Chains A and B, each alone.
Chain A
Amino acid sequence: MDLEQRMRLVTRNAEEVVTPEEMRKLLETETKPRAYWGFECSGQ
């Protein structure tokens, strides 16, 4: 997958990307960057 495709996938439907330049640079330099989503285990 080329850089543009990866960038499109990562940013699609995102309300905010902080920052798009940093994200692009990361995708350019890392093939396997690390990301997370944290969830509170809650009922609401």
Chain B
Amino acid sequence: MNALDSERKRGRSPRIMHIGMGVVCGSKIKDMIKAGFEFIIFLADWHSWINNKLGGDMEKIRLCGEYFKECFTALRIKPDSVQYLWASDIAKNMEYWEKVVRIAKSVTLQRTWRALPIMGREMSMTDMETAWVYYPCMQSADIFHMNLDVACAGMDQRKAHMLARDAAEKLDWKKPACIHTHLLMGLQGPEKTERQFDENVDVNLQISSKMSKSIPKNCIFIHDTLEDIRTKIRAAYCPPREALRNPVLELAKYVVFAEKESLKIPRPSKYGGLESFESYEETEKAYVKGELHPLDLKDGVAEALIEILSPVREYFHKHPQTLRKMMEIEITR
């Protein structure tokens, strides 16, 4: 992890996976597999290129996709229980592009615009790329081309899915059901914004407050050391007796109880000793009543995160190559 340490010293945000993608998405994928789904993890290289991710450099984008595969494997999604598919695999097919055009013809430009990834929507016309308009149409075409029954994504992608559902009705194609997951809040707490990502006020606040890799102290990375995790959680926003918009309780709900049956609170004996909560609801109830102190909650959540992420540390200790290459991307840029 020397590369990661040197990145930290330079104060740069490392290009690595955070716990929202790793565990919130990862555990939902595991749920779907357990429920009998044939599950595709789609590595959207073309979309990343359109969205100018990693400088729009396809070689770096592919490397990042390979790194994601390893992260999910490390997080115990067995490689033979899912199918990994690249956007470039389906983009080779002429019928895929026919679907893109059919979708583009079935929706207005205004509608496509609203479904764009966040970056472009508030720029002036002269700074925008025409290619961005392809993005939501491709996102919809992906769903139909892979003949999917269900599309999963975070709440910030719901508009693209709604566009796909509308297109399905107009074109008489199979309409996908959708699962939208919560966007984990950054450790700093809620961040209000003037920008409008979504008409719904709560969804808008969720998007503007989401955990972002660009502010490392507000973000838990799956590769964080034990000390990183303890320090960051200790410093996190955690209003006493407040369950709403509390990032530490969110971690308990969407990460700890998604992966574990209980949350252990390692409390000193003079404050009541070790306590164990068997469900999120029980934890929240005790917290709101004031029976669970913010500091004790933080310690319990930090130790649980350390345990949940320990397979990641083990995996990348044994297989450091891809992670190392990901770090070098940032260094040479």
Which A residues form the contact surface with B (CB < 8 A)?
1, 5-6, 9-19, 22-23, 26-27, 30-44
- Asked whether B317 is an interface residue with its Cβ less than 8 Å from the other chain, the reply is no
Residues of B close to A31: CB separation below 8 A: 36
| Contact with B161, one of A10, A13, A18, A41 (Cβ below 8 angstroms) | A18
Q: Total A-B residue pairs with C-beta atoms closer than 8 Å?
A: 163
Chain A contact residues: helix, strand, loop or mixed: mixed
Q: A10-B31, A35-B39 are in contact. Are A40 and B152 (CB under 8 A)?
A: no
Please report the C-alpha to C-alpha distance between residue A15 and residue B29 in the assembled complex, in whole angstroms: 15
| Contact with A36, one of B27, B45, B117, B143 (Cβ below 8 angstroms) | B143
Interface size on B, residues (CB 8 A): 64
* Pair B254/A13 contact, Cβ less than 8 Å: yes
Residues of B close to A6: CB separation below 8 A: 35-36
* Pair A9/B35 contact, Cβ less than 8 Å: yes
* Pair A11/B54 contact, Cβ less than 8 Å: no
Interface string of B48-64 (1 = CB under 8 A from A): 10010110000001101
Residues of A close to B180: CB separation below 8 A: 14-18
* Pair B44/A15 contact, Cβ less than 8 Å: no
CB within 8 Å of A: which of B170-194?
A: 175, 177-182
B62 CB to closest chain A CB (Å) equals 7
Please report the C-alpha to C-alpha distance between residue A32 and residue B36 in the assembled complex, in whole angstroms: 6
B36 CB to closest chain A CB (Å) equals 6
* Pair A33/B149 contact, Cβ less than 8 Å: yes
